[in-house]
Amino acid sequence: MICSLALRGAVKHWKRSLVTAGAVAVSCAVMIAIGSLLNGVNSSFLESVVPNSGHVRIESADADKAANPLGLSTLVADADGAVEAIRTQGDPRIGAVEKLLSFGAILVEDTSGPDPRNLAMRGIGVASDTRFADNARYGLVEGGFLPGGEGICLSQAAARLVGARLGGTVLVLVQDRSSQPWYESLKVTGIFRTESRDFDETTFYIAEPRAAEMLDVPGSAREIRLLLAKPDAAREVARSVAASLAVSMAGGSGRLLVQPWQEINASIVGLLVFVNVMLGIIMALFAVVAGTIIANSSLMSVMERLQEYGTMRAIGLRARSLGKLILLEEAINSLVGALVGMALGSVVVSLLMRNGLDLGGMMESLGLSRYNRPRVDVLWYAGCAVASVAVCLVATGRAARAVGSRSVAESLVTAA
């Protein structure tokens, strides 16, 4: 009977029900949309940026202090030895170990004309079967990614700027270890496109052995990256690798810095924490606003229906049961609102997934995609719905207490 009364009350007083359901729906939808966006940013970071930068990175301890971050004076001199030492260590947590050699270069149009086009870029020497360089490997629009370790893989934008095309050649001009200029004509074997224009216009890939040969730094690398089976173990693995290298590389050329991904991406982690907190605050504000609207709406609703409630109590309904009736009615409204909110949130999320949300160039500079796409998490949807209903019930509790605390006579007199 109480359920039936609550349901009929919600239908009869549909305007009030609409206010409650609307407030719940909006707050639920906002929480779903913001939460999914946050989930998208976090996932993008954890699944793209973190593995792409390596869960653990080893580089020269002097790399940070170098005036030219692409200079050859701050390489890991005996990178091959370090890689061998790590592999010998046989740590089962380490999935892959790989050398990367980044360097400064000028890409020059391979033409016999008088004024060849050129572009100052950053070359990255990687293994042809690299586990990194995801954005280029997955963004290939023509050719392959350094097939057989041959050629050069550059972006569509760079190819356009230097007049290169797939199968054609381009000149790569570098300065080797002894500051002598060196150039090679490389065949364009792959063309990629990423979401970052900056990246596309500044980065190309060649095979790591070819890069070492051109730069005359055999066995060296800019950095060594480790991929782990469980990224959470990065700090422990970094400590273990550092200890191992300190022994095996003692007396070697230069100190090494071993960092877990949390330290490598400290600025992004900090920014993400900030973004998470800010969006969390926005979600909380929405919940508070929705709660206030619902609380006031409920209070007005019960005050308008004081005679009805007073009559029920006069007939013999206990105050506690009346409170349950009021809460049940609002629970029905909030459930409807939560369902509508989930549907609304899904529409917003699917629109954002299709188009992405442009978060500006700052995200690119951090290695994240400029266009954030939300990530759907069913648990989060359910959590938002439950939270919205809970906010509604807490807000309605005030109204229920207000009615319950009045005497029956007061309720009837007030109504009269």
Q: Which residues in this chain contact another protein in the complex, by CB under 8 A?
A: 1, 5, 8-9, 11-12, 307-308, 310-320, 407-409, 412, 416
CB of 407 to another protein, least distance (A): 6
CB of 27 to another protein, least distance (A): 28
Q: Which is nearer to another protein, 298 or 411 (CB)?
A: 411
Report the C-alpha gap between 283 and 275 in whole angstroms.
Answer: 12
CB of 328 to another protein, least distance (A): 13
Q: Which of 173, 171, 152 is nearest to 215 (CA)?
A: 173
CB of 395 to another protein, least distance (A): 23
Q: Which is nearer to another protein, 18 or 412 (CB)?
A: 412
Range 70-74, long-range pairs (CB < 8 A, 24+ positions)? 70/102, 70/103, 70/104, 70/122, 71/104, 72/103, 72/176, 72/177, 72/215, 72/217
CB of 320 to another protein, least distance (A): 8
Q: Which is nearer to another protein, 5 or 140 (CB)?
A: 5
Cβ-contact 99, 60 below 8 angstroms: no
A 10 A CB-CB count for 318 gives 11
CB of 307 to another protein, least distance (A): 6
Cβ-contact 371, 313 below 8 angstroms: no
Rounded to 5°, the CA angle 232-238-243 comes to 145
Cβ-contact 52, 135 below 8 angstroms: yes
Q: Which is nearer to another protein, 358 or 410 (CB)?
A: 410
Mention every residue, 6+ apart, whose C-beta is less than 8 A from residue 380.
32, 35, 36, 39
Q: Which is nearer to another protein, 96 or 412 (CB)?
A: 412
Q: Which is nearer to another protein, 233 or 319 (CB)?
A: 319
Q: Which is nearer to another protein, 213 or 308 (CB)?
A: 308
CB of 16 to another protein, least distance (A): 13
Q: Which of 270, 288, 271 is nearest to 30 (CA)?
A: 288
Cβ-contact 224, 55 below 8 angstroms: no
CB of 352 to another protein, least distance (A): 42
Q: Which is nearer to another protein, 11 or 243 (CB)?
A: 11
Report the C-alpha gap between 374 and 350 in whole angstroms.
Answer: 8
Q: Which is nearer to another protein, 184 or 308 (CB)?
A: 308
CB of 405 to another protein, least distance (A): 10
Which region, left, alpha or beta, applies to residue 254 given φ > 0 means left and ψ of -120 to 50 means alpha? left
Mention every residue, 6+ apart, whose C-beta is less than 8 A from residue 10.
17, 329, 332, 333
Q: Which is nearer to another protein, 106 or 408 (CB)?
A: 408
Kindly report the backbone phi and psi dihedral angles of residue 259, in degrees, each rounded to the nearest multiple of 5, phi listed first.
Answer: -125, 140
* Tokens representing residue 210 in the block: 């070819």
Report the C-alpha gap between 25 and 315 in whole angstroms.
Answer: 36
